[in-house]
Amino acid sequence: MSTLGQRIAGYRKAASLTQEELAEKCSVSAQAVSKWENDISAPDISLIPVLAKLFNVSCDELLGVSRKEVQAVPEQCVDLNKMLFKMKVLSARGDKVNINLPLQIAESFIKNANFGSDSEAIRNIDFAGLVSMVKMGAVGKLMEVNSADGDTVEIWVE
């Protein structure tokens, strides 16, 4: 398991930021960022949402809080009107896409979307199968794909 400092360093590097640039965005010194990344100190609690927003991750992800993986709920408890389809795409080229849609809208989006041939990680996902799983009661993190190109795709339903 990685430490908060390791996660901050990883997210900073993935965002192509130097310690100095991150420090400026957080109104702290570069030495403070270095101490965070070396687990000598931790950012002030008020900076956690700022860092999460800068890195395009949730506060939970930044803090290393793991969510439950896929869980099954009884079909009669599944209210598709209240479910949210979430997809995060982080390409090796630095592209970041976050999609948060009500499930019913996501179904239409999935049927009509042209994901192109750029990302192998997206092209081969069986979205109709995922929607079927949700209708049968699967919720949580349904899948994570890491392509050889360095692309990452995560799909959640909550």
CATH number assigned to the domain comprising residue 16: 1.10.260.40
Q: Report which listed range, 15-19, 86-90, 131-135, is most confident.
A: 15-19
How many residues in the chain?
158
Instruction: Tell me the C-alpha to C-alpha distance, in Å, between residue 78 and each of 52, 108, 138.
Output: 30, 19, 9
Q: Helix or strand or coil: residue 141? A: strand
Q: In this structure, are 109 and 136 located in the same domain? A: yes
C-alpha–C-alpha distance, residues 154 and 89, integer Å: 7
If asked whether residues 96 and 25 sit together in one domain, one would say no
Question: Does 95 share its domain with 132?
Answer: yes
Residue ranges making up the domain that contains 47: 4-63
The count of domains in the chain is 2
Instruction: Write down the pTM of the prediction.
Output: 0.47
- Residue 74's pLDDT is 73
**Which structure tokens are listed for 92?**
């090796």
Last residue of a domain, one of 41, 63, 85: 63
Edge-to-edge strand order for the sheet containing 71-72? 71-72, 138-146, 152-157, 84-90, 96-102
| pLDDT tens digits, one per residue of 122-155 | 666 777 777 777 777 777 777 777 777 777 777 7
State how far the Cα of 118 lies from the Cα of 143, in Å rounded to an integer. Answer: 20
Per-residue pLDDT, 153: 76
Do 77 and 56 share a structural domain? no
